[in-house]
Amino acid sequence: MRRFSVFSISLGPLLSVVALGPLLGACALGPKVMTPDTRLPAAYEAPAAATGGEARIEAWWGLYDDPQLQSLVEEALKRAPDAESAEARLREALAVRSQALMSFNPQGALQASGTRTDTRLVSGRDSFSLGPGQPQISLITTGPTDTYAAQFNVSWELDLFGRRRTTRHKAEADLAAARFDYAATRTSLAANVADQLFQARGLAIQLDDAREAARIQRELLDVAQKKAAHGLGSQADADQVASQTAQTDAQVADLETQLHAARRTLLVLVGRGADPLESLPTPATAGTAPPVPASVPGALLADRPDVREAAEKLKSAAGTLKLDELALFPKFPLQPGATLNSNVEFGSALTTSAWSIGAGLAQPILDLPRLKAEIRAQGARADQAAIAYGKTVQTAYGEAENALTGLASDEARVKLLTAGEAQGRSALDASRRRYAAGIDDLSTVLTAERTWRSARSALTGAQVQALRRSVQAFKALGGGWSPPAATTTRAAR
Protein backbone atom coordinates (compact mmCIF):
# COMPACT_ATOMS: atom_id res chain seq x y z
CA MET A 1 0.00 0.00 0.00
CA ARG A 2 1.26 3.44 -0.89
CA ARG A 3 1.46 5.92 2.02
CA PHE A 4 1.78 9.67 1.72
CA SER A 5 1.14 12.89 3.67
CA VAL A 6 -0.72 15.95 2.44
CA PHE A 7 0.30 19.48 3.52
CA SER A 8 -2.27 22.27 3.10
CA ILE A 9 -0.12 24.82 1.24
CA SER A 10 -1.51 26.33 -1.93
CA LEU A 11 1.85 26.11 -3.74
CA GLY A 12 3.24 23.45 -6.00
CA PRO A 13 6.30 22.19 -4.16
CA LEU A 14 6.02 21.50 -0.45
CA LEU A 15 7.99 23.87 1.74
CA SER A 16 9.92 22.48 4.65
CA VAL A 17 10.04 24.16 8.04
CA VAL A 18 13.66 25.00 7.40
CA ALA A 19 12.76 26.74 4.17
CA LEU A 20 10.18 28.81 6.04
CA GLY A 21 12.79 30.26 8.39
CA PRO A 22 13.61 33.38 6.35
CA LEU A 23 9.90 33.96 5.74
CA LEU A 24 9.09 33.81 9.46
CA GLY A 25 11.95 36.14 10.22
CA ALA A 26 10.51 38.63 7.77
CA CYS A 27 7.17 38.72 9.65
CA ALA A 28 7.47 41.99 11.57
CA LEU A 29 5.50 42.20 14.77
CA GLY A 30 2.75 44.77 15.12
CA PRO A 31 2.82 48.07 16.99
CA LYS A 32 3.11 48.21 20.74
CA VAL A 33 0.05 49.34 22.67
CA MET A 34 0.36 52.82 24.12
CA THR A 35 0.65 53.21 27.89
CA PRO A 36 -2.53 54.68 29.42
CA ASP A 37 -2.32 57.85 31.47
CA THR A 38 -3.37 56.84 34.99
CA ARG A 39 -1.60 59.56 36.94
CA LEU A 40 -3.54 60.75 40.00
CA PRO A 41 -2.81 63.27 42.76
CA ALA A 42 -1.64 62.00 46.12
CA ALA A 43 -4.70 63.49 47.84
CA TYR A 44 -8.03 65.09 47.03
CA GLU A 45 -8.35 68.86 47.00
CA ALA A 46 -11.62 68.62 48.91
CA PRO A 47 -11.42 69.82 52.54
CA ALA A 48 -10.59 67.09 55.02
CA ALA A 49 -13.87 67.74 56.80
CA ALA A 50 -15.69 66.17 53.87
CA THR A 51 -14.51 62.72 54.91
CA GLY A 52 -14.39 60.89 58.17
CA GLY A 53 -14.37 57.47 59.74
CA GLU A 54 -12.82 54.25 58.59
CA ALA A 55 -15.99 52.25 57.93
CA ARG A 56 -16.05 49.83 55.03
CA ILE A 57 -18.30 50.92 52.16
CA GLU A 58 -19.04 47.60 50.43
CA ALA A 59 -22.64 47.92 51.69
CA TRP A 60 -22.75 51.66 52.34
CA TRP A 61 -26.56 51.78 52.40
CA GLY A 62 -26.41 50.16 55.84
CA LEU A 63 -24.60 53.24 57.21
CA TYR A 64 -27.75 55.38 56.88
CA ASP A 65 -29.56 53.46 59.65
CA ASP A 66 -32.57 53.42 57.33
CA PRO A 67 -34.44 50.07 57.22
CA GLN A 68 -36.48 51.05 54.16
CA LEU A 69 -33.40 52.08 52.19
CA GLN A 70 -31.56 48.89 53.10
CA SER A 71 -34.56 46.72 52.24
CA LEU A 72 -35.12 48.39 48.85
CA VAL A 73 -31.45 48.17 47.83
CA GLU A 74 -31.17 44.51 48.79
CA GLU A 75 -34.43 43.75 46.98
CA ALA A 76 -33.21 45.54 43.85
CA LEU A 77 -29.92 43.63 43.85
CA LYS A 78 -31.89 40.37 43.91
CA ARG A 79 -34.79 40.92 41.52
CA ALA A 80 -34.36 44.14 39.54
CA PRO A 81 -34.18 43.72 35.73
CA ASP A 82 -30.83 45.50 35.62
CA ALA A 83 -29.36 43.07 38.16
CA GLU A 84 -30.77 40.05 36.31
CA SER A 85 -29.41 41.32 32.99
CA ALA A 86 -25.96 41.81 34.53
CA GLU A 87 -26.04 38.25 35.86
CA ALA A 88 -27.05 36.93 32.42
CA ARG A 89 -24.14 38.79 30.79
CA LEU A 90 -21.79 37.24 33.33
CA ARG A 91 -23.08 33.75 32.54
CA GLU A 92 -22.57 34.49 28.86
CA ALA A 93 -18.98 35.56 29.52
CA LEU A 94 -18.30 32.33 31.42
CA ALA A 95 -19.62 30.27 28.51
CA VAL A 96 -17.64 32.29 25.93
CA ARG A 97 -14.46 31.78 27.96
CA SER A 98 -14.99 28.01 28.03
CA GLN A 99 -15.73 28.03 24.31
CA ALA A 100 -12.53 29.93 23.54
CA LEU A 101 -10.36 27.56 25.57
CA MET A 102 -12.01 24.40 24.20
CA SER A 103 -11.22 25.41 20.62
CA PHE A 104 -7.60 24.33 21.17
CA ASN A 105 -8.50 20.88 22.49
CA PRO A 106 -8.68 17.87 20.15
CA GLN A 107 -11.82 18.02 18.06
CA GLY A 108 -13.51 14.88 16.77
CA ALA A 109 -16.77 13.41 15.57
CA LEU A 110 -18.04 9.83 15.37
CA GLN A 111 -19.87 9.04 12.16
CA ALA A 112 -21.85 5.85 11.60
CA SER A 113 -24.03 4.67 8.72
CA GLY A 114 -25.97 1.61 7.63
CA THR A 115 -27.37 0.73 4.20
CA ARG A 116 -29.45 -2.19 2.87
CA THR A 117 -29.45 -2.80 -0.88
CA ASP A 118 -31.80 -5.35 -2.55
CA THR A 119 -30.75 -6.22 -6.11
CA ARG A 120 -33.22 -7.99 -8.50
CA LEU A 121 -32.83 -9.13 -12.11
CA VAL A 122 -35.31 -7.33 -14.32
CA SER A 123 -34.34 -8.65 -17.79
CA GLY A 124 -31.53 -10.60 -19.44
CA ARG A 125 -29.45 -13.43 -18.04
CA ASP A 126 -27.81 -13.39 -14.66
CA SER A 127 -25.31 -16.20 -15.50
CA PHE A 128 -23.60 -18.10 -18.34
CA SER A 129 -21.72 -21.36 -18.89
CA LEU A 130 -18.45 -21.98 -20.71
CA GLY A 131 -19.81 -25.18 -22.22
CA PRO A 132 -21.91 -28.26 -21.72
CA GLY A 133 -21.40 -29.70 -18.31
CA GLN A 134 -19.59 -26.59 -17.09
CA PRO A 135 -20.86 -24.73 -13.99
CA GLN A 136 -22.82 -21.55 -14.34
CA ILE A 137 -20.88 -18.34 -13.81
CA SER A 138 -22.88 -15.55 -12.15
CA LEU A 139 -22.94 -12.23 -13.95
CA ILE A 140 -24.64 -10.28 -11.18
CA THR A 141 -25.29 -10.77 -7.52
CA THR A 142 -28.93 -10.53 -6.59
CA GLY A 143 -30.61 -10.36 -3.24
CA PRO A 144 -30.16 -8.20 -0.13
CA THR A 145 -26.83 -6.65 0.89
CA ASP A 146 -26.20 -4.86 4.21
CA THR A 147 -23.36 -2.38 4.53
CA TYR A 148 -22.24 -0.80 7.82
CA ALA A 149 -19.57 1.80 8.37
CA ALA A 150 -18.16 3.67 11.37
CA GLN A 151 -15.59 6.42 11.26
CA PHE A 152 -13.92 8.50 13.96
CA ASN A 153 -11.82 11.46 12.86
CA VAL A 154 -9.85 13.73 15.16
CA SER A 155 -8.20 17.06 14.46
CA TRP A 156 -5.79 18.90 16.72
CA GLU A 157 -3.47 21.81 16.18
CA LEU A 158 0.06 21.52 17.46
CA ASP A 159 0.67 24.82 19.26
CA LEU A 160 4.28 25.89 18.83
CA PHE A 161 3.94 29.67 19.06
CA GLY A 162 1.72 30.24 22.11
CA ARG A 163 -1.71 30.71 20.52
CA ARG A 164 -3.39 28.71 23.27
CA ARG A 165 -1.65 30.64 26.05
CA THR A 166 -2.50 33.99 24.45
CA THR A 167 -6.10 32.93 23.90
CA ARG A 168 -6.36 31.86 27.53
CA HIS A 169 -5.03 35.21 28.75
CA LYS A 170 -7.44 37.10 26.50
CA ALA A 171 -10.37 34.94 27.61
CA GLU A 172 -9.47 35.53 31.26
CA ALA A 173 -9.35 39.28 30.64
CA ASP A 174 -12.75 39.20 28.92
CA LEU A 175 -14.22 37.24 31.82
CA ALA A 176 -12.70 39.62 34.36
CA ALA A 177 -14.14 42.58 32.43
CA ALA A 178 -17.56 40.93 32.54
CA ARG A 179 -17.23 40.40 36.30
CA PHE A 180 -16.39 44.07 36.80
CA ASP A 181 -19.27 45.08 34.53
CA TYR A 182 -21.53 42.95 36.73
CA ALA A 183 -20.21 44.74 39.83
CA ALA A 184 -20.48 48.18 38.20
CA THR A 185 -24.09 47.53 37.23
CA ARG A 186 -24.98 46.54 40.77
CA THR A 187 -23.20 49.52 42.34
CA SER A 188 -25.02 51.87 39.97
CA LEU A 189 -28.32 50.15 40.72
CA ALA A 190 -27.85 50.54 44.49
CA ALA A 191 -26.95 54.21 44.07
CA ASN A 192 -29.92 54.83 41.76
CA VAL A 193 -32.34 53.23 44.23
CA ALA A 194 -31.03 55.36 47.10
CA ASP A 195 -31.03 58.51 44.99
CA GLN A 196 -34.59 57.91 43.80
CA LEU A 197 -35.79 57.17 47.33
CA PHE A 198 -34.32 60.40 48.66
CA GLN A 199 -35.84 62.35 45.77
CA ALA A 200 -39.25 60.82 46.50
CA ARG A 201 -38.94 61.69 50.18
CA GLY A 202 -37.97 65.23 49.26
CA LEU A 203 -41.13 65.52 47.18
CA ALA A 204 -43.15 64.10 50.07
CA ILE A 205 -41.72 66.80 52.36
CA GLN A 206 -42.49 69.50 49.80
CA LEU A 207 -46.02 68.14 49.48
CA ASP A 208 -46.54 68.27 53.23
CA ASP A 209 -45.13 71.81 53.31
CA ALA A 210 -47.46 72.90 50.50
CA ARG A 211 -50.45 71.41 52.31
CA GLU A 212 -49.40 73.17 55.51
CA ALA A 213 -49.08 76.45 53.59
CA ALA A 214 -52.55 75.93 52.12
CA ARG A 215 -53.94 75.31 55.61
CA ILE A 216 -52.34 78.51 56.92
CA GLN A 217 -53.67 80.49 53.96
CA ARG A 218 -57.20 79.19 54.54
CA GLU A 219 -56.99 80.36 58.13
CA LEU A 220 -55.85 83.77 56.89
CA LEU A 221 -58.67 83.77 54.35
CA ASP A 222 -61.20 83.04 57.07
CA VAL A 223 -59.85 85.93 59.17
CA ALA A 224 -59.78 88.28 56.14
CA GLN A 225 -63.36 87.43 55.19
CA LYS A 226 -64.58 88.00 58.74
CA LYS A 227 -62.80 91.36 58.89
CA ALA A 228 -64.31 92.36 55.57
CA ALA A 229 -67.77 91.32 56.77
CA HIS A 230 -67.44 93.47 59.88
CA GLY A 231 -65.95 96.43 58.05
CA LEU A 232 -62.53 95.95 59.65
CA GLY A 233 -60.84 95.07 56.38
CA SER A 234 -61.30 95.23 52.64
CA GLN A 235 -62.66 92.56 50.33
CA ALA A 236 -59.53 93.03 48.24
CA ASP A 237 -57.47 91.58 51.07
CA ALA A 238 -59.72 88.52 51.19
CA ASP A 239 -59.52 88.12 47.42
CA GLN A 240 -55.72 88.34 47.53
CA VAL A 241 -55.53 85.56 50.11
CA ALA A 242 -58.02 83.47 48.11
CA SER A 243 -55.86 83.87 45.00
CA GLN A 244 -52.73 82.71 46.81
CA THR A 245 -54.64 79.78 48.32
CA ALA A 246 -55.72 78.66 44.85
CA GLN A 247 -52.11 78.83 43.63
CA THR A 248 -50.95 76.76 46.59
CA ASP A 249 -53.68 74.17 45.94
CA ALA A 250 -52.46 73.94 42.34
CA GLN A 251 -48.92 73.40 43.62
CA VAL A 252 -50.20 70.61 45.87
CA ALA A 253 -51.77 68.87 42.87
CA ASP A 254 -48.53 69.19 40.88
CA LEU A 255 -46.43 67.81 43.75
CA GLU A 256 -48.83 64.88 44.12
CA THR A 257 -48.25 64.05 40.44
CA GLN A 258 -44.47 64.32 40.82
CA LEU A 259 -44.48 62.13 43.92
CA HIS A 260 -46.64 59.56 42.14
CA ALA A 261 -44.14 59.40 39.27
CA ALA A 262 -41.14 59.22 41.63
CA ARG A 263 -42.64 56.32 43.58
CA ARG A 264 -43.48 54.46 40.38
CA THR A 265 -39.93 54.97 39.08
CA LEU A 266 -38.58 53.58 42.35
CA LEU A 267 -40.81 50.52 42.09
CA VAL A 268 -39.55 49.90 38.55
CA LEU A 269 -35.94 50.18 39.75
CA VAL A 270 -36.41 47.49 42.39
CA GLY A 271 -38.28 45.17 40.00
CA ARG A 272 -41.83 45.79 41.25
CA GLY A 273 -43.03 48.15 38.56
CA ALA A 274 -46.57 46.76 38.46
CA ASP A 275 -47.14 46.79 42.24
CA PRO A 276 -49.59 49.34 43.69
CA LEU A 277 -48.13 52.55 45.08
CA GLU A 278 -49.52 51.66 48.50
CA SER A 279 -46.81 48.98 48.69
CA LEU A 280 -44.18 51.72 48.80
CA PRO A 281 -44.78 54.15 51.66
CA THR A 282 -42.84 57.39 51.35
CA PRO A 283 -42.44 59.12 54.71
CA ALA A 284 -41.93 62.88 54.63
CA THR A 285 -38.60 62.70 56.45
CA ALA A 286 -35.15 63.39 55.06
CA GLY A 287 -32.78 61.77 57.52
CA THR A 288 -29.10 62.48 57.96
CA ALA A 289 -26.21 61.54 55.68
CA PRO A 290 -23.51 59.40 57.34
CA PRO A 291 -19.85 60.45 57.19
CA VAL A 292 -17.97 59.20 54.14
CA PRO A 293 -14.80 57.21 54.97
CA ALA A 294 -11.48 58.81 54.14
CA SER A 295 -9.78 57.73 50.94
CA VAL A 296 -6.99 58.65 48.53
CA PRO A 297 -7.23 59.03 44.74
CA GLY A 298 -4.93 56.08 44.08
CA ALA A 299 -7.47 53.73 45.67
CA LEU A 300 -9.82 54.37 42.75
CA LEU A 301 -7.69 52.11 40.53
CA ALA A 302 -8.63 49.15 42.71
CA ASP A 303 -11.95 50.22 44.23
CA ARG A 304 -13.90 51.36 41.17
CA PRO A 305 -15.35 48.45 39.16
CA ASP A 306 -15.62 50.55 35.99
CA VAL A 307 -11.90 51.38 36.23
CA ARG A 308 -11.03 47.72 36.73
CA GLU A 309 -13.27 46.82 33.77
CA ALA A 310 -11.50 49.32 31.51
CA ALA A 311 -8.14 47.85 32.54
CA GLU A 312 -9.27 44.33 31.64
CA LYS A 313 -10.63 45.51 28.30
CA LEU A 314 -7.18 46.92 27.58
CA LYS A 315 -5.65 43.53 28.40
CA SER A 316 -8.14 41.85 26.08
CA ALA A 317 -7.37 44.26 23.24
CA ALA A 318 -3.64 43.63 23.67
CA GLY A 319 -4.33 39.88 23.61
CA THR A 320 -6.31 40.18 20.39
CA LEU A 321 -3.41 42.09 18.86
CA LYS A 322 -1.03 39.30 19.86
CA LEU A 323 -3.31 36.69 18.29
CA ASP A 324 -3.45 38.70 15.08
CA GLU A 325 0.34 38.74 15.02
CA LEU A 326 0.46 34.97 15.59
CA ALA A 327 -1.75 34.55 12.52
CA LEU A 328 1.40 35.32 10.48
CA PHE A 329 3.03 32.14 11.74
CA PRO A 330 2.36 28.64 10.38
CA LYS A 331 -0.15 26.18 11.81
CA PHE A 332 0.52 22.47 12.25
CA PRO A 333 -2.73 20.46 12.27
CA LEU A 334 -2.70 16.76 13.24
CA GLN A 335 -5.50 14.55 11.91
CA PRO A 336 -5.61 10.95 13.17
CA GLY A 337 -8.61 8.76 12.36
CA ALA A 338 -10.03 5.24 12.30
CA THR A 339 -12.59 3.53 10.02
CA LEU A 340 -14.54 0.28 10.35
CA ASN A 341 -16.56 -1.19 7.42
CA SER A 342 -18.76 -4.27 7.38
CA ASN A 343 -20.52 -5.82 4.36
CA VAL A 344 -23.09 -8.60 4.89
CA GLU A 345 -24.19 -10.47 1.75
CA PHE A 346 -26.03 -13.82 1.61
CA GLY A 347 -25.26 -14.41 5.26
CA SER A 348 -21.55 -13.84 4.78
CA ALA A 349 -19.89 -10.86 6.49
CA LEU A 350 -16.79 -9.05 5.32
CA THR A 351 -15.30 -6.60 7.82
CA THR A 352 -12.38 -4.26 7.26
CA SER A 353 -10.72 -1.65 9.45
CA ALA A 354 -8.27 1.12 8.72
CA TRP A 355 -6.49 3.83 10.64
CA SER A 356 -4.77 6.93 9.47
CA ILE A 357 -2.71 9.76 10.82
CA GLY A 358 -1.97 12.93 8.97
CA ALA A 359 -0.03 16.07 9.62
CA GLY A 360 -0.21 19.36 7.81
CA LEU A 361 1.36 22.75 7.61
CA ALA A 362 -0.47 25.94 6.68
CA GLN A 363 1.50 29.13 6.15
CA PRO A 364 -0.21 32.30 4.88
CA ILE A 365 1.51 33.70 1.81
CA LEU A 366 -0.81 35.65 -0.45
CA ASP A 367 -2.94 36.63 2.56
CA LEU A 368 -0.10 38.45 4.33
CA PRO A 369 -1.15 42.00 3.29
CA ARG A 370 -4.65 41.47 4.70
CA LEU A 371 -3.30 40.00 7.95
CA LYS A 372 -0.87 42.89 8.41
CA ALA A 373 -3.67 45.39 7.77
CA GLU A 374 -5.72 43.65 10.47
CA ILE A 375 -2.75 43.95 12.84
CA ARG A 376 -2.59 47.69 12.23
CA ALA A 377 -6.34 48.01 12.75
CA GLN A 378 -6.24 46.02 15.99
CA GLY A 379 -3.28 48.10 17.15
CA ALA A 380 -5.43 51.18 16.72
CA ARG A 381 -8.28 49.51 18.62
CA ALA A 382 -5.89 48.62 21.44
CA ASP A 383 -4.75 52.24 21.58
CA GLN A 384 -8.39 53.26 21.85
CA ALA A 385 -8.79 50.87 24.78
CA ALA A 386 -5.74 52.45 26.44
CA ILE A 387 -7.18 55.93 25.92
CA ALA A 388 -10.57 54.79 27.25
CA TYR A 389 -8.86 53.36 30.33
CA GLY A 390 -7.08 56.64 31.01
CA LYS A 391 -10.30 58.59 30.50
CA THR A 392 -12.16 56.28 32.89
CA VAL A 393 -9.52 56.91 35.55
CA GLN A 394 -9.77 60.68 35.08
CA THR A 395 -13.58 60.55 35.12
CA ALA A 396 -13.52 58.52 38.33
CA TYR A 397 -11.23 61.05 39.98
CA GLY A 398 -13.41 63.96 38.82
CA GLU A 399 -16.58 62.34 40.17
CA ALA A 400 -14.96 61.60 43.53
CA GLU A 401 -13.42 65.07 43.83
CA ASN A 402 -16.70 66.81 42.98
CA ALA A 403 -18.73 64.69 45.38
CA LEU A 404 -16.30 65.20 48.25
CA THR A 405 -16.09 68.93 47.60
CA GLY A 406 -19.88 69.20 47.74
CA LEU A 407 -20.01 67.23 50.98
CA ALA A 408 -17.73 69.78 52.60
CA SER A 409 -20.39 72.50 52.37
CA ASP A 410 -23.59 70.46 52.65
CA GLU A 411 -23.50 70.01 56.42
CA ALA A 412 -22.89 73.71 57.12
CA ARG A 413 -25.58 74.70 54.64
CA VAL A 414 -28.16 72.43 56.27
CA LYS A 415 -27.36 73.84 59.72
CA LEU A 416 -27.72 77.44 58.55
CA LEU A 417 -30.95 76.77 56.69
CA THR A 418 -32.39 74.86 59.66
CA ALA A 419 -31.89 77.91 61.85
CA GLY A 420 -33.28 80.21 59.16
CA GLU A 421 -36.39 78.07 58.69
CA ALA A 422 -37.08 78.04 62.43
CA GLN A 423 -36.77 81.82 62.60
CA GLY A 424 -39.03 82.22 59.58
CA ARG A 425 -41.71 79.99 61.09
CA SER A 426 -41.54 81.89 64.38
CA ALA A 427 -41.93 85.20 62.54
CA LEU A 428 -44.91 83.84 60.59
CA ASP A 429 -46.70 82.63 63.72
CA ALA A 430 -46.16 86.00 65.42
CA SER A 431 -47.38 87.91 62.36
CA ARG A 432 -50.54 85.77 62.14
CA ARG A 433 -51.37 86.53 65.76
CA ARG A 434 -50.74 90.26 65.26
CA TYR A 435 -52.91 90.25 62.11
CA ALA A 436 -55.75 88.53 63.94
CA ALA A 437 -55.41 91.15 66.68
CA GLY A 438 -55.47 93.94 64.11
CA ILE A 439 -51.90 95.07 64.74
CA ASP A 440 -50.30 93.98 61.41
CA ASP A 441 -51.82 94.38 57.98
CA LEU A 442 -52.34 91.55 55.49
CA SER A 443 -49.28 92.32 53.38
CA THR A 444 -47.03 91.84 56.42
CA VAL A 445 -48.52 88.39 57.07
CA LEU A 446 -48.24 87.35 53.43
CA THR A 447 -44.63 88.51 53.31
CA ALA A 448 -43.84 86.48 56.43
CA GLU A 449 -45.59 83.46 54.92
CA ARG A 450 -43.62 83.71 51.67
CA THR A 451 -40.37 84.11 53.62
CA TRP A 452 -41.07 81.00 55.66
CA ARG A 453 -42.04 78.95 52.61
CA SER A 454 -38.86 80.00 50.82
CA ALA A 455 -36.72 79.06 53.83
CA ARG A 456 -38.55 75.76 54.22
CA SER A 457 -38.11 74.91 50.55
CA ALA A 458 -34.40 75.75 50.68
CA LEU A 459 -33.94 73.58 53.78
CA THR A 460 -35.69 70.62 52.20
CA GLY A 461 -33.61 70.99 49.05
CA ALA A 462 -30.40 71.17 51.07
CA GLN A 463 -31.28 68.10 53.12
CA VAL A 464 -32.12 66.06 50.03
CA GLN A 465 -29.04 67.32 48.21
CA ALA A 466 -26.82 66.32 51.14
CA LEU A 467 -28.27 62.81 51.10
CA ARG A 468 -27.97 62.46 47.34
CA ARG A 469 -24.43 63.84 47.38
CA SER A 470 -23.42 61.31 50.00
CA VAL A 471 -24.74 58.55 47.73
CA GLN A 472 -22.71 59.99 44.87
CA ALA A 473 -19.63 60.04 47.10
CA PHE A 474 -20.03 56.41 48.16
CA LYS A 475 -20.46 55.37 44.54
CA ALA A 476 -17.61 57.57 43.30
CA LEU A 477 -15.22 56.08 45.86
CA GLY A 478 -16.05 52.54 44.72
CA GLY A 479 -18.62 51.58 47.33
CA GLY A 480 -21.26 48.92 46.83
CA TRP A 481 -19.13 45.84 46.08
CA SER A 482 -16.21 43.82 47.43
CA PRO A 483 -13.26 44.37 45.08
CA PRO A 484 -10.85 41.45 44.60
CA ALA A 485 -7.14 41.98 44.94
CA ALA A 486 -5.88 44.29 42.21
CA THR A 487 -3.41 42.98 39.68
CA THR A 488 -0.84 44.90 37.74
CA THR A 489 -2.07 45.94 34.30
CA ARG A 490 0.47 46.01 31.51
CA ALA A 491 -0.61 48.04 28.56
CA ALA A 492 2.35 47.09 26.37
CA ARG A 493 3.82 43.67 25.84
Contact 406, 469 (CB under 8 A): yes
- Give the confidence band of 236 by pLDDT, cuts at 50, 70, 90: confident
pTM: 0.79
Give yes or no for residue 306 having a pLDDT over 70: yes
Give the residue extent of every domain in the chain.
40-116+145-476
**Which residues, including other chains, have CB under 8 Å from residue 199's CB and lie 6 or more apart?**
262, 464, 468
What pLDDT, in 10s, does the model give residues 314-357? 999 999 999 999 999 998 888 887 787 777 666 667 777 777 78
The pairing of strands 143-158 and 136-138 is unpaired
Closest to 238 in 3D by CA, of 453, 447, 451, 446: 446
What pLDDT, in 10s, does the model give residues 258-267? 999 999 999 9
Closest to 118 in 3D by CA, of 146, 97, 92, 153: 146
What pLDDT, in 10s, does the model give residues 352-383? 777 778 788 888 899 999 999 999 999 999 99
pLDDT of residue 159: 83
Report the range of poorest mean pLDDT among 20-24, 191-195, 397-401. Answer: 20-24
Q: 442 or 309, which is more confident?
A: 309
What separation in angstroms does the CA of 52 have from each of 40, 56, 168, 290? 21, 12, 43, 9
Angstrom distance (rounded) from CA 263 to CA 251: 18
pLDDT of residue 93: 92
**Which residues, including other chains, have CB under 8 Å from residue 381's CB and lie 6 or more apart?**
317, 320, 321
Give yes or no for residue 457 having a pLDDT over 80: yes
Write phi, then psi, for 142 (nearest 5 degrees). Answer: -115, 160
Give domain 40-116+145-476's CATH number out of 3.30.413.10, 1.20.1600.10, 3.40.50.720, 1.10.1500.10: 1.20.1600.10
Average pLDDT estimate for 97-123? 78
- Give the confidence band of 25 by pLDDT, cuts at 50, 70, 90: very low
Average pLDDT estimate for 84-101? 92
- DSSP secondary structure of 294-317: P--GGGHHHH-HHHHHHHHHHHHH
What separation in angstroms does the CA of 73 have from each of 178, 216, 315? 22, 38, 33
pLDDT of residue 271: 93
What pLDDT, in 10s, does the model give residues 155-177? 878 888 989 999 999 999 999 99
